[in-house]
């Protein structure tokens, strides 16, 4: 399911994800602003040990020809990053993508509780603690009701205070098959295993729904990467993106 999900992002058929080589694909997916984003990904490069897929918008065909001449299999992610930044004269955003790899029976969700609509006042306090200058208005209540009704809102309380809670990012593709997991923990309560417990509870609920739990993070987010491994993910690929806002 994870391979199929990223094949949608790339605009390729799922079986291509399991091949070897360097593949350039002009895709209409690069011209779409996906759910959860305010911009398009003009170039979306997917890198594993034996595969590099470069998905790009037709608008950049001329520059892609130069990239085709320079990219070859066996290059490191950093080498491909350097080529992209040179060709397009802009910064590249770097992320890591993961695939879940742990039996459901081994999931421990101690100390975690499911959050319901009635827990919104605690969630609002939790949100404002992290975002003191943000305007919650009506959207936050609507968002919390949405994730709590989905059965994928989990949290941990300490002294009746919500200190860690999962969230439910929008899925641009295959929303009926996959769901990414998000987590927020108040800074002073980190290092206690709260994030791990809440994430595991959410993962368990996603799997019990028959869906596949997804995880991704920025390449320099070492805390998120470490947490992914701890809860049962394995690294799937590096993804390099460019949005030129043309």
Q: What is the pLDDT, as a whole number, of residue 209?
A: 94
Q: Specify the pTM.
A: 0.93
Residue 81 CB neighbour total at 10 angstroms? 20
Domain of 88, in residue numbers = 2-98+238-242
> pLDDT tens for residues 148-179?
999 999 999 999 999 999 999 999 999 999 99
- Is 108's pLDDT higher than 80? no
Q: Are residues 110 and 203 in the same domain?
A: yes
Find the CATH number of the domain harbouring 210. Answer: 3.40.630.30
Q: Are residues 84 and 129 in the same domain?
A: no
Q: Are residues 108 and 230 in the same domain?
A: yes
Q: Are residues 29 and 81 in the same domain?
A: yes
> pLDDT tens for residues 185-204?
999 999 999 999 999 999 99
Average pLDDT of the segment spanning 85-109: 90
Q: Are residues 93 and 180 in the same domain?
A: no
Q: Are residues 79 and 138 in the same domain?
A: no
Count of domains in the chain?
A: 2
- Quickly list H helices, 164-231: 194-208, 222-231
Give the CA angle between residues 84, 170, 101 to the nearest 5°.
75
pLDDT cut 90: percent of the chain above it: 89
Q: Are residues 12 and 127 in the same domain?
A: no
């Amino acid at each position: 399911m994870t391979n199929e999900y990223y094949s949608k992002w790339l605009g390729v058929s799922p079986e291509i994800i399991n091949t070897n080589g360097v593949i350039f694909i002009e895709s209409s997916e690069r011209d779409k602003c996906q759910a959860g984003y305010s911009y398009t990904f003009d170039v979306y490069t997917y890198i594993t040990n034996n595969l590099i897929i470069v998905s790009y918008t037709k608008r950049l065909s001329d520059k892609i020809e130069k990239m085709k001449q320079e990219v070859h299999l066996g290059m490191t992610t950093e080498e491909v990053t350097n080529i992209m930044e040179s060709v397009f004269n802009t910064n590249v955003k770097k992320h890591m993508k993961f695939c879940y790899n742990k039996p459901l029976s081994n999931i421990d969700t101690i100390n975690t509780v499911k959050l319901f609509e009635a827990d919104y006042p605690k969630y609002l306090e939790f949100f404002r603690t992290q975002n003191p200058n943000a305007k919650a208005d009506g959207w936050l209540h609507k968002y919390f009701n949405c994730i709590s009704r989905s059965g994928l809102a989990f949290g941990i309380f300490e002294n009746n205070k919500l200190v860690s809670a999962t969230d439910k990012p929008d899925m641009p593709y295959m929303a009926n098959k996959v769901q990414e997991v998000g987590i927020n923990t108040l800074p002073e309560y980190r290092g206690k295993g709260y994030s791990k417990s809440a994430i595991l509870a959410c993962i368990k609920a996603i799997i019990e729904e028959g869906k596949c739990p997804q995880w991704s993070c920025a390449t320099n987010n070492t805390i998120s990467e470490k947490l992914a491994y701890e809860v049962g993910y394995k690294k799937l690929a590096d993804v390099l993106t460019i949005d030129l806002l043309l």
